[in-house]
Amino acid sequence: MNKIAIAVHGGAGPDSEFIRQHQKEYEQGIQEAMDAGYRVLEEGGSALDAVEEAVNYLEDNPLFNAGRGSALNKKAEVEMEASIMNGQDLKSGAVSIVKNVKNPVTLARAIMEKTEHIYIGDMGALEFANQIGLKVMPEAYFITDHAFEQYTKALKEADNTMEGAGQYQVKRKTHGTVGAVALDKEGNVAAATSTGGTENKAPGRIGDSSMIGTGSYANNKTCAVSSTGDGEVLIQHVMAFHVSALIQYKGLGLKEACHYLMHNELKDAEGDMGIIALDTTGTVTMEFNSERMHRGYKTSDGEQFIANYPDKL
């Protein structure tokens, strides 16, 4: 049997008292998402199926900023985004500024497979979700106590104008994303990423998670990558594709490429950045420059790893 592997992340960014108090719950969430995706691979499912399954779990877990648990924008609304990509044929799908859809990454996959488009946003995305019968939930479902607390704290620290929201984001830099990369028995890789964005963001703001080549990228010739951190910084540097380009055009190995990008090429970039990646040999790597990144991986070689902080791997 060919090697199978999966890696997941639950967001990179600044530490907080809430995270410190819930370390075990974050680790459990990563473990369960990882196990859900790995079971798909064990049963012969595709890498695409596995990353969707893992990200669905994290979207449903209120600890993580995606799906249920999404951050609230300046108007106390939830606007979500997601992307997914198949390394076998480079097919991809993405959605942004979407409301009510329980699992945005599943909507992104449906856009990839059921339309002639790659990227649909806002009401068009919601209308399409309704057309194909995806599960939708009332907005109250997505708003957790923690997300509301973060929102009210944002209002106190910003003047609740468009400019104030922007200044708050730059100062506080609180963000979160979930993502997964996987390798299946057929030797194909895939990537998926989903987020609720940053709290008190300007309505309509689009981050990195829904952008193919930034939030997610997968190519059997090189690797699969999911990124997380400060969206604007990740967009500037086209993070996910940047890893692939270093492998394809510079001839670096996966681990070397991720380390070089994070700690050499972008060492002076201001902002939190994190990436998880794997290639068709089953090599897995994770790099980040932030105070914490919830992350884990599992392979058919018996390797398994979970951590929140940079004291490991």
Which residues are catalytic, by number? 177
What is the biggest distance separating any 2 CA atoms in the chain, rounded to whole angstroms? Answer: 58
How far apart CA 13 and CA 262 sit, in angstroms, is 14
Token pair recorded at residue 195? 């987020």
Question: Tokens 């997601």 sit at which residue?
Answer: 82
User: Which among 246, 231, 224, 221 has a CA at the least distance from the CA of 92?
Assistant: 224
How far apart CA 313 and CA 306 sit, in angstroms, is 9
User: Which among 223, 222, 234 has a CA at the least distance from the CA of 274?
Assistant: 234
User: Which among 219, 213, 177 has a CA at the least distance from the CA of 94?
Assistant: 213
Beta strands in 213-271 (DSSP E): 216-219, 223-229
**DSSP codes of every residue in 108-158:** HHHHHHHSS-SEEEHHHHHHHHHHTT--B--HHHH--HHHHHHHHHHHHHS
How far apart CA 240 and CA 219 sit, in angstroms, is 11
Torsion of CA 99, 100, 103, 107, to 10 degrees: -60
Amino acid at 217: Y
